[in-house]
Chain A
Amino acid sequence: MTFNYQEALKNAALSMVRVKSPTHLIKMIARFLDREMGISHTSIIVLDGQKHQYVFCDSQGEKKVPKGLIKLEKDNPLIRWFSSKKEANGLIKKDHLSLQYLNSLLQDKAVLSYDKTLENRLVKIKEYMDTLKATLCVPGFYKGELLGIFILGEKTDMTEFNQEEMSFFQTLASDASMTIKNAEYKDNLLQKIEELEQSLDEIKRLRENDKDKYLQTILTFAYMVDARDPYTYGHSEQIKKLGLLTAHELHLDLSGEKEKILTSALLLHDVGKLGVPDNILHKKGPLTNDEWVLMREHVRTGPRILENHDDFKEVSVIIMHHHENFDGTGYPYKLKGDEIPIQSRIICVVDAFDAMVSDRPYRKGLAYDHAIAELKKCSGTQFDPKVVDAFLKIIEREINV
């Protein structure tokens, strides 16, 4: 049998992006493995919502485990094997467990001698794999937590699983874990937005009573965003300071409520990042196209959270456009020049500068003169030249101080 793993993996990954419900995804994977891989049976067990036990989410094939019949407690030998970190001084691999490997371990006196309980545990695992008619188990983890296990029967051509197949299953398991977490995250997001709206009602109430408290709450809100990402800690405060200075330099009209609106927008410009999954927000390395789509969503999510509140109508509009480029190549609406609110143009410059000089998971911050050169280079394309000029005056003054 020739099977194109690269192609299969690509197709699987593509369908995962589209899947909304984790249960649906798992069934899809089980059916895919059953149909395409020539395995006597396939089961997928996953950690249940309350995180107390692992249940069979789907089973396919001739000798399958009946659906809904059994669960694996956290003290099940197989679960404990994958949940616990190292064995025998790290001599044992835990990215998969095949009967073949299990048997070789049981015969390896050197490995067994490291730990007196090991042999007994391995025998119990073997018993359990026999019960499930499993010849290969492949775990899926997310942030070190065991989320589930692929349990695979024999290959119908009776050969052993080869290296290519093993790594295919591992990639599939890790992609699936990631997708499941993302889908859960989306469900939680709706709930989170509701909570945020409640806090906003609270803000409104406080604001009527006490102006200081209102600002305090806005600050708390901004810190919530910062706190999710250790790399941008203090980011909001810095943006507020530099943004206000730039506005003054530009002689922007800040009378009446206008200064407060700008301050709130500067502090809350990234509030929509509360809706970006952790694994994307904290990813060490460049984002894929699909991940970028989710990341860019934050300019819409922020206003969605804020716009229902009269106090934040103007703030929402400013936030919505802080990634528009001066030449009309930005997002979400490709606005151009003066179509972009001046406050958004300010945030765009200040935010870009702060991002460049800050350390990120995947790189060290650029030196100031580098970042300044970059701003100059993109003045007129990404940035409003007027804002860049004003901002650079501020920076030169700040650095000299």
Chain B
Amino acid sequence: MSKILIVDDELEICAFLKEFFSERNYDVVTASSGKEAIQLVNRENPHVLLLDIKMPGIDGLEVLKAVKQYHPNLKVIMVTAVETSDKMAEAFKLGADNYITKPLSLEYLERDVKEKIFKLI
């Protein structure tokens, strides 16, 4: 079963997306901070990471940098309300596989996750 790690400091968002992907037969874990995210990547070894940028403490871009270093195959999709082009450019430079801005279309998100996992096989 494909595993997704959802990282967002808003618990409601974690819960909503977890339910959405669980119902579509994904194995889902969630983290609500950057620190927790890095720990869970090491422990759970997910296929895809849905990663918010603006979080207190370690932010999404720092998490991206850290995880890509040790898990180059992990697909990271930035899911964020931050829409500035410099953040976007930085994310791609650090190896992000996509950058989706909120509000997002669930159909698009699901398609993208599916596609990223397909590329791993």
| Cα(A71)–Cα(B107), bound, Å | 10
Q: Please, what's the 1-or-0 string for B89-106, where 1 marks a CB less than 8 Å from any CB in chain A? A: 000000000000011111
CA distance in complex: A199, B23 (Å): 59
Contact B107 A66 (CB under 8 A): no
- Of B16, B23, B103, the most chain A CB neighbours within 10 A belong to B103
B103 to chain A: closest residue by CB: A71
Minimum CB–CB distance for B33 against chain A, Å: 17
- Name the interface residues of B63-119: CB closer than 8 Å to any CB of A: 81, 102-108
When the two chains form the complex, which single residue of B12, B23, B108 contacts A66, counting CB atoms closer than 8 Å?
Answer: B12
* Number of inter-chain CB pairs below 8 Å: 37
Interface residue? B20 (CB, 8 A): yes
A73 to B105, CA, bound (A): 7
Q: Do residues A69 and B16 form an inter-chain contact, with CB atoms below 8 A?
A: yes
B102 touches A69 (CB 8 A): yes
Residues B105 and A70 in contact, CB atoms below 8 Å apart: yes
Interface contact A66-B10, CB-CB below 8 Å: yes
Partner pick for A55 among B17, B81, B103, B106, CB 8 A cutoff: B103
With beta carbons under 8 angstroms apart, the residue of B16, B23, B104 that contacts A65 is B16
Check A71 against B105 for contact (C-beta < 8 Å).
Answer: yes
Minimum Cβ distance to chain A for residue B66 (Å): 25
- B103 pairs with A70, CB closer than 8 A: yes
Chain B positions within 8 Å of A, measured between CB atoms, are 10, 12-13, 16-17, 20, 23, 81, 102-108
Query: Which of A's residues lie within 8 Å of B, judged by CB?
Result: 53, 55-56, 64-66, 68-73, 76, 130-131
9 contacts between A and B (CB under 8 A): A64-B12, A68-B81, A68-B102, A69-B104, A70-B104, A70-B105, A76-B107, A131-B20, A131-B106
